[in-house]
Structure 1
Amino acid sequence: MTSRFRYPKNWNEIALKVKQEANWCCQTCGLKCIEPGQSTKGINSSEIAKHRLSVHHQNYTPEDNRPQNLIALCAACHLAKHQRRRGSITPDQLELKLI
């Protein structure tokens, strides 16, 4: 499991920038994800979870926050990346922080 202390204090700002640059779309499957402030009224929790965008470290190193190492992924694609590597991610890594 990855600990929060491995991420920089400004991780939320870094992640937000990556998501904005990806236009809130998964960079693997193209799924349009939920943006901050977007209404989720009428959407069930399963669909909300499916449309969460997170930021993945392509080299699996949370300390390496170079732009070329970061990619915006929907929850399913992010989980798939970690499953293939036999790694694990914490629930807070998949959490959509609406800033």
Structure 2
Amino acid sequence: MPQKSQSRYPENWSDIALDVKQSVGWRCSKCGLQCIRPGDDTSELSRSLRTALTLTVHHKNFLPEDNRRENLYALCTACHLSFHTRRRGNVSPGQLSLF
């Protein structure tokens, strides 16, 4: 599986993404799903459920270099994939790794 190009993201991407997720209370901005927060006990969840409940950060304009807050959208995995399905985004659904 090809890796997402890390070179297009700033060195502090993890901090930027964490700030976006915290600002929405770890809820998907599209569907409202409450996602896993740091420190939540996920030991009883299956791998697929943990993946489904993982909050990601999407670039509205599909440009990972554009990290203005108004361009960033906190989304659950399913909603994030829906933005990339049949859309010419910067990654394919198989590339959406959660780092």
TM-score range, shorter chain: 0.7 to 0.9
Question: Who is 2:9 aligned against?
Answer: 7
Please state how far the C-alpha of 1:46 moved relative to its aligned partner: 1.4
**1:18-67 C-alpha deviation (Å, 9 max, x unpaired):** 00001000000000000111110211111111101000000000000000
Question: Who is 1:29 aligned against?
Answer: 31
Gaps of 5+ in 2: none
Find the aligned partners of 2:5 and 2:71 in 1 and give their Cα distance. Answer: 18
Is 35-44 or 51-60 further displaced after alignment? 35-44
Please state how far the C-alpha of 1:77 moved relative to its aligned partner: 0.4
Letter in 1 for 2:96: P
Gaps of 5+ in 1: none
Question: Who is 1:39 aligned against?
Answer: 41
Find the aligned partners of 1:4 and 1:11 in 2 and give their Cα distance. Answer: 10
Question: Who is 1:91 aligned against?
Answer: 96
How many pairs does the alignment contain?
A: 94
Normalised TM-score (structure 2): 0.88
Find the aligned partners of 1:86 and 1:60 in 2 and give their Cα distance. Answer: 9
Find the aligned partners of 2:88 and 2:71 in 1 and give their Cα distance. Answer: 19
Q: Sequence identity, in percent?
A: 51
Give the RMSD, CA atoms, in angstroms.
1.5
Q: Where is the helix percentage greater, Structure 1 or Structure 2?
A: 1
Normalised TM-score (structure 1): 0.88
